[in-house]
């Protein structure tokens, strides 16, 4: 242990903290995003809200980073475009999911990303995770099962299942960011712009298909000050800031560490849901939430020890 400590520069913990802090801020805004999304979205306006959410910030990004966008090569455009397609799937699953479940459930279930990512990374690198981490993963899964059974043992809701799929999709996205070689050396702002542009293109195509819900312009016309404030929060902080930071951080640390740092997200989601939306978990729900938080915290420590 002493030899390891001696080989690490004194400034290393500080540099690690400077990388970790923005990721923790992302966890805060993402944790509160579920409540914001529920406030402005219905089943019939999901795609329209997603078009508006991305379209609000995309022109600003293009204008600010036009020169760097032109500097991207073909491989970087393809890599960022692929990440954008995955991103569109994440947002569709999350937004439809949060409409059909509580903000508290959504935040806690999505926290399983911090368990799924190290497991997937281990499968890709063929390096077995520590046994303690596997036990923590099992504890978290058990917690999600209890969480979705607040009123007794019933089939999990559609929203709960969609959020579980969103957690898996987030895992794919984080791994892809670290594994696609073409995007590693590219400018973070440009990559974020291409990702969001690819995603909004997907949403725009879906919005043009009959039967997919209200048109974006009609939804925008019906928004009042509260809805516009929620949309700006989702666009600027939960989308632009969050994915820029994630793209920046994942190239300075490991995918597992990024996902583990984002594991504080359910704390903020539960706090916002309970304090502002009056969510009630019930006895089983509280037990499940405790297991999810305990499992993800244990998993984080086990993963860090395995890396050391």
pLDDT value of residue 4: 31
What does DSSP assign to residue 223?
Answer: -
pLDDT value of residue 116: 86
* pLDDT tens track for 78-112: 999 999 999 999 999 999 998 998 877 887 788 78
Closest to 144 (Cα-Cα) out of 107, 103, 97 = 107
Helix spans in the chain (H): 2-7, 12-40, 46-64, 66-71, 74-99, 103-110, 113-125, 131-147, 158-179, 188-207, 216-221, 225-232, 242-250, 255-261, 265-276, 282-307
Task: For residue 250, give the 3-state DSSP assignment.
Answer: helix
pLDDT value of residue 2: 32
Cα–Cα–Cα angle for 103, 266, 93, nearest 5°? Answer: 55
Please, are residues 143 and 290 in contact by the beta-carbon 8 Å criterion?
A: yes
Task: For residue 238, give the 3-state DSSP assignment.
Answer: helix
pLDDT value of residue 92: 95
**pLDDT-flagged residues of the chain (< 70):** 1-17, 148-154, 254-257, 259-261, 263-264, 267, 300, 303-308
* pLDDT tens track for 40-57: 998 899 999 999 998 888
pLDDT value of residue 303: 67
Nearest-angstrom CA–CA distance, 47 and 304: 38
Task: For residue 101, give the 3-state DSSP assignment.
Answer: coil
pLDDT value of residue 10: 42
Nearest-angstrom CA–CA distance, 20 and 305: 17
Burial class for 224, CB neighbours closer than 10 Å (0-12, 13-18, 19+): exposed
DSSP letter string, 54-78: HHHHHHHHHHHTHHHHHH--HHHHH
HSE of 128 in the Cβ direction (CA atoms, 13 Å)? Answer: 4
pLDDT value of residue 128: 79
pLDDT value of residue 231: 94
């Amino acid at each position: 242990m002493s030899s390891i400590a001696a080989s690490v520069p004194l400034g290393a913990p500080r540099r690690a903290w400077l990388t970790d802090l923005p990721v923790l801020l992302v966890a805060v805004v993402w944790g509160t995003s579920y409540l914001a999304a529920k406030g402005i979205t219905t089943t019939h306006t999901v795609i329209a809200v997603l078009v508006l959410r991305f379209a609000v910030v995309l022109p600003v990004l293009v204008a600010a980073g036009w020169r760097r966008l032109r500097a991207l090569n073909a491989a970087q455009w393809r890599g960022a475009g692929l990440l954008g397609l995955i991103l569109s799937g994440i947002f569709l699953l999350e937004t439809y999911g949060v409409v059909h479940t509580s903000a508290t459930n959504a935040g806690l279930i999505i926290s399983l990303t911090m368990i799924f990512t190290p497991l997937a990374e281990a499968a890709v690198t063929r390096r077995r995770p520590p046994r303690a981490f596997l036990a923590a993963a099992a504890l978290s899964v058990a917690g999600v099962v209890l969480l979705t059974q607040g009123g007794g043992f019933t089939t999990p809701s559609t929203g709960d299942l969609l959020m579980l799929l969103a957690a898996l999709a987030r895992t794919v996205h984080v791994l892809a960011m670290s594994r696609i070689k073409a995007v590693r050396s590219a400018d973070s702002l440009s990559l974020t712009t291409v990702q969001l542009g690819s995603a909004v293109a997907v949403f725009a195509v879906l919005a043009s298909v009959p039967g997919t819900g209200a048109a974006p312009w009609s939804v925008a016309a019906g928004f009042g000050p509260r809805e516009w404030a929620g949309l700006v929060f989702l666009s600027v902080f939960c989308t632009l800031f969050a994915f820029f930071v994630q793209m920046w951080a994942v190239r300075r640390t490991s995918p597992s560490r990024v996902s583990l740092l984002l594991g504080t997200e359910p704390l903020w989601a539960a706090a916002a849901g309970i304090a502002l939306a009056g969510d009630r978990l019930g006895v089983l729900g509280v037990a499940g939430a405790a297991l999810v938080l305990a499992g993800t915290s244990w998993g984080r420590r086990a993963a860090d020890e395995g890396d050391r």
